[in-house]
Structure 1
Amino acid sequence: MVLANTSFNGCFRIESDSVMGQGSFSIVYEASCLKDETKYAVKCLKKNNMNQDEILSLMDEVSILQELTPLCHPSIIPLHNFFEESSMFYLVMEAMVGGELFDRIAVKQFYSEKEARDVCKIILNSVDFLHSRKVAHRDLKPDNFLLVSAQNDALVKLGDFGFSKRCNDNANSGLGDLKTQLGTPAYIAPEILDKAPFYGSQCDMWSVGVIMYVLLGGYEPFYEAHKEEMYRKIMKGDFEFHSDCWGDVSMDAKILISSLLEVDPSKRLSARDALRSKWICTDDKLLAENDLTTTNFCKLKKYNAKRKVRAVVHSLIAVNKLNIMRQSKKLAEETS
């Protein structure tokens, strides 16, 4: 990674019609390096759209990625360059042209318990690495696991470190030292919803448990139409393995998920321990024989389609809110 001493436009060219994604405060474009034409994804943020807390959060994200990138972990999207200019921030990242992991799974013709297990192992390895570096991601969900290329299903990396934070899990009598309530509703840990004074990186392991449940069952464990009811179920750890969906899934997988969807974070399995669990270590041949194609895979495809629609709706809402904020700010400036 090279930290920038020159301007972004002096090093990179944003390609026309190359929007790769859009958030509340940022747009991600495809960009080419002027030196060798290597393709990158560049996250562009306008300073005047961000308040001081949001800028500080961005700097946390950049600082964490600057620490992680030189370690070259195969499952973490690296930060190649960062530019702070008079009106803009630019984060230059590896271009993940293979799309989202769940989208790739959804177009498969065959889906076995082994394939689900292999994905879970990749997820656990990335989280174990983060936690070994004393970093909590705090927004683990299917959207943030991306494929390097369209040709290789095994090259999966974790991105979007906007909510990530360095943490000390030993602080405050083992509770941790994180305080902020944030995350994606369906994947958020109960200790965050419970407004506990402190929490730690084990919040990520709850999210991993939800992802595993979706990968094997095809639906979210705590889903409710009303968010308040979903939060109530999360805080109680109120979920079950419905027999019509989970009858063919191995008991070891269900035991692992239950160990992750443990309301008490001190009793919740760590990433390191989950990687040593019986299901993760089960022989490939045995899991490959458990075909989920005609049962839960159909539910997973439907879930993925709904997830994509929700993501688009949430993005539009966020952009509309930002536009309203901009208009209000402009009006206030004009009338002052």
Structure 2
Amino acid sequence: MTEKNSSVDEKSFNDCYDVIDDDNGFLGKGGFGTVKSCLSKKTSKVFACKRILSAKVNRGKILKEIEILKMCTNQENIVEMVDYFEDKDGFDLVFEKMGGSSMMKRLEKYGTINGGEAKVILKSVANALKFLHSKNIAHRDVKPSNILCSSDDIIYPLKLCDFGCSEVGERFTNVEGSFYYFAPEVAALMLRVTDTGYYTTQSDMWSLGATMYKLMTNEFPIDKAFCANCSSTKNRKSCCLEPIIQRIYLGNYIMNETKLLSISEEATNIIENLMVADPRIRYTADQVLKNPWVSTAY
């Protein structure tokens, strides 16, 4: 299935692909670029192209993302990069195209997941994270919008995507990702109150717990953390960021156990073991995969 990875000195993106530049071809937009469908001129196969403008992202950061993606080739629960190109304005990263949307879009369309789906998501994402962590790669942006489904009807196989925040190492000292899914040790860095001055790949496991909580309840465990100047979380202003980060750092979150338990007692137990403030006793990806309930997924 894999096209030949390109170097910056070979053919251009436009030599090899045609962008499907209509409403059906548009797949998403982020802070650093857009994702559209594209058609291989060689095979007529449809892929997903992530266009990143050099003016918005440091070139070294993009090259790092490419190198990490190359390390993940053929991992069953990570979206595979099949080609990449650089021109004077930026990069085009070409990926296999998943048939379905992200779990976030699926949540918005169909509502919260059931116990069977929770089991599949936990196994799939934990499998991806076990692989990454074995190579000292921290994803650093695990969240529902970065988990893609195989189709709109069937979520499995699920794949983790978007490695723009990822890094290789044993200790990390810069803050990356989406604050609702920050682990307490990442929040501590942001607040400059950390004892260690770093965090590890275990931060991804907290993010997985927060992701599962969101998918099972359509709430955030720290969603009520808004300041006195804001009337509701829907109208939250930038002044609310610090109290949110404070609550994450303190592990002071609100968990709707009634809603969680109505979906799955087993998933609730795993979430509680993932959202542990101390990363040393927080579940690892391997512990999630060895859970008897999770191991029966697909």
TM range (shorter): 0.7 to 0.9
5+ residue gaps, structure 2, are: 227-239
Cα RMSD over matched residues? 2.4
Q: What is the TM-score normalised by the length of structure 1? A: 0.74
The answer for the alignment partner of 1:160 in structure 2 is 162
> In the alignment, is residue 50 of structure 1 matched against residue 56 of structure 2?
yes
CA distance in 1, matches of 2:65, 2:19: 22
Q: Where do 1:23-42 residues align within 5 Å? A: 23-42=30-49
Q: Where do 1:168-187 residues align within 5 Å? A: 168=170, 177-187=171-181
5+ residue gaps, structure 1, are: 169-176, 285-336
The answer for the alignment partner of 2:141 in structure 1 is 139
CA distance in 2, matches of 1:201, 1:232: 21
Which amino acid is 2:67 matched to?
S
The answer for the alignment partner of 2:17 in structure 1 is 12
Maintained 8 Å contact 1:140/1:207:
yes
Number of matched residues? 271
Maintained 8 Å contact 1:252/1:278:
no
Cα deviation, 1:210-235, whole Å, max 9, x if unaligned, reads: 11222333311111233222212111
The answer for the alignment partner of 1:305 in structure 2 is none
Maintained 8 Å contact 2:120/2:297:
no
Maintained 8 Å contact 1:46/1:87:
yes
Q: What is the TM-score normalised by the length of structure 2? A: 0.82
Q: Which is richer in helix?
A: 1
Cα deviation, 1:90-123, whole Å, max 9, x if unaligned, reads: 1111122311124335555995322222222222
The answer for the alignment partner of 1:222 in structure 2 is 222
User: Alpha-carbon deviation of 1:245?
Assistant: 2.5
CA distance in 1, matches of 2:187, 2:21: 42
Maintained 8 Å contact 2:119/2:297:
no
Which amino acid is 1:100 matched to?
S
> In the alignment, is residue 248 of structure 1 matched against residue 262 of structure 2?
yes
User: Alpha-carbon deviation of 1:40?
Assistant: 1.0
Maintained 8 Å contact 1:101/1:156:
no
Q: In structure 2, do the counterparts of structure 1 residues 41 and 33 end up closer, same or farther at CA, with 3 Å as the change threshold?
A: same
Q: In structure 2, do the counterparts of structure 1 residues 66 and 234 end up closer, same or farther at CA, with 3 Å as the change threshold?
A: same
Higher gyration radius (CA): 1
The answer for the alignment partner of 1:115 in structure 2 is 117
CA distance in 1, matches of 2:138, 2:172: 9
Moved more, 85-94 or 214-223: 214-223
**Equivalent residue of 1:9, what SS?**
helix
